[in-house]
A and B are shown apart, each in its own frame.
Chain A
Amino acid sequence: MIAEIEQASPIGQETRTRPVVARLTNASKNYGAVQALKQVTLEVRQGEILAVLGPNGAGKTTAVKLLLGLAAPNHGSVSVFGGDPRNPDNRLRTGAMLQVARVPETLKVREHVTLFSSYYPNPMPIADTLAAAGLTQLANRKFGDLSGGQKQRVLFALAICGDPDLLFLDEATLGLDVEARRLLWDQIRSLASRGKAVLLTTHYLQEADALADRILVINRGEIIAEGTPSEIKARPAGRQIRCFTDLSIAQVRAISGVIDVKAEGDSLLIQTAVAEPVLRELLARDANVSGLEVTSAGLEEAFLALTTNPESNGRES
């Protein structure tokens, strides 16, 4: 009976009672006129893997930067281990894998790992870090001689070498092949099972589903869904509105609550969480709307629509 109850209780429920190690509270961040984050509240708890899922440019990287103290929020607050993320003691307990366009190429893998390990008072042995990142064979290669996936693994090694309690992985599996991705997933799971808190950003629903205890879906700086993978997948999340309108895609996109818009033939396909307020606005702004059709979309579908958004094919900014 007890076993049954434990089985029935999803991991997400259990982690919700664990201590919070990092938190954003109503955090907003603007880069000039661009609002990268709008009043985002999120928590990462001890021993949990939190996936922040969203298309490129959704604000995932910005959220990570705020939590790392690399940027300050315009509004709201950031707290890591109950304090300022820039506090040196907190940095000693934090590891981060960020998107970086170029890493010094003339240093060898082992040298990079040795240097970063030396920042921490109690790092993992270098050999363990190299093994965990699958770099043992590559230790004496210069960074510049590595393939894209191998380079990602070095950045992962630098993030974990200090055996941190809190780990940020920003698009960690970008450019990895299937095997390397599996290896990384295993490492992330094993870190969480040792009580580490992991926040990872991804734009693959499949990755979030496979790894995370909780998923937070973010788009255009706003959290649009949150829950365990099964809750997220079960949510009758979105509504899809199809119509003919004189409004441009940009005009429709500007309507509050619109997640995504794309043209399909002469009609527009509008993704939204709740249809009614968007419909009200749409009809108010354009008297000539015709051919209205409202259907419900699963999150998978809604998310696919998000990630195939043509203007988000570039790098995350």
Chain B
Amino acid sequence: MSVTVTAILRPGAGRTPGHTAVIFLNEARYEFLKLARLPIYALSTIMFPVMFYILFGLLMNRGQELSRVGVATYLLATYATFGVMGASLFGFGVGLAGERGLGWLQVKRASPMPPFAYFFAKTVVCMTFSLIIVLILMTLGLLFGGVHLTLPQGMQLAATLVFGSITFCSMGMAIGFFAGPSSAPAIVNMIYLPLSFASGLWIPIQALPNFFQKIAPFLPPFHLGQLALSIIGADTRGSAIGHWEAMAAFALICLGIARIGYLRDEGKTYG
């Protein structure tokens, strides 16, 4: 009996679910520290939406209205969407492209880290930064923009945006598996900025030329923006279910593309 037990408990056999959970949490914790200490990430992903919001939502256009709500309230929803998208695309996409292309992901893959822990950590950290951005914008809007949100509204807005960031994490993952370490930031910017504009995150969609109104439904940030706008009481297009379905569909497509990249990696060599 004892022989069998020692045979099963040979060095290194198995992990308890508790231990696996600890690894996931550790991975997320150090991923957060890593990005939080990286000024270019922490500053650029937080500063850009904050600056834009202060400029266009709080300083200019004071006291004006946009689809039944104040400009500061309207732009809170769209710039928060913009911020969430940036945190995820840069955090996941640029981070993954660099770590994959420069050999670090390979060190992780050779280690006993459960592979899913790596992607879990990146997702959780992007969601965390998304939440930070949403909370900063909300605070600014409430304090200086005359924004009125009930507590449930605020919580629903934050939850929607943070949950919606999963779609952008998937997009980041797809980019990260195909972009090179040095081209990734440029590629992300080339996707991020035009997509934000065309989805009505900078200028309200109804003020954009007809062309953009036609293509917007094919862009994921448009759908998250519409979901955010519906929570703060602005006029929106389409149904909430429809927007969530579109977000889920984009996420699945991106995950499919990322999977192709993940499998392709096995036949390649880096470094």
Residues of chain A touching chain B, judged by Cβ–Cβ distance below 8 Å, are: 31, 36, 61-62, 65, 68-72, 88-89, 91-94, 96, 98-104, 106-107, 111, 114-116, 118-122, 142, 155, 158, 162, 164-165, 168, 315, 317
Contact = CB atoms under 8 A, between A and B. Distances in A.
Interface string B14-43: 110001001100110010011101100000
Given A72-B266, A118-B23, A118-B26, A96 B271 contact: no
B112 interface: yes
A68 B110 contact: yes
A155 B107 contact: yes
B98 interface: yes
Nearest to A88: B112
B103 interface: yes
Nearest to B103: A100
30 contacts: A31-B268, A62-B269, A65-B269, A71-B266, A71-B267, A72-B267, A89-B13, A91-B110, A91-B111, A92-B112, A93-B11, A98-B106, A98-B107, A98-B271, A99-B271, A100-B102, A100-B106, A101-B270, A102-B98, A107-B37, A111-B33, A118-B23, A119-B23, A120-B112, A121-B19, A122-B12, A142-B37, A155-B107, A158-B111, A315-B271
B114 interface: yes
Contacts of B144: none
Given A104-B99, A115-B30, A119-B113, A165 B107 contact: no
Interface residues of B, number: 36
A317 B110 contact: no
A315 B102 CA distance: 13
Contact of B112 (A36, A102, A119, A315): A119
Contact of B110 (A62, A98, A111, A115): A98
B33 A70 contact: no
Contacts of B237: none
Given A106-B34, A106-B38, A111-B33, A70 B110 contact: yes
A116 B111 contact: yes
B11 A118 contact: no
B111 A93 contact: no
B259 interface: no
B169 to A, nearest CB: 18
A115 B32 CA distance: 13
A198 to B, nearest CB: 15
A317 B181 CA distance: 17
A102 B102 contact: yes
A121 B271 contact: no
B109 interface: yes
B120 interface: no
A107 B68 CA distance: 48
Nearest to A31: B269
B103 A165 contact: no
A55 to B, nearest CB: 17
B6 to A, nearest CB: 14
B163 interface: no
Nearest to B117: A119
A171 to B, nearest CB: 11
Q: Which 10 A-B pairs have the closest CB atoms?
A: A100-B103, A106-B37, A92-B12, A101-B102, A102-B102, A91-B112, A93-B12, A96-B110, A119-B112, A68-B110
Interface in B115-151: none
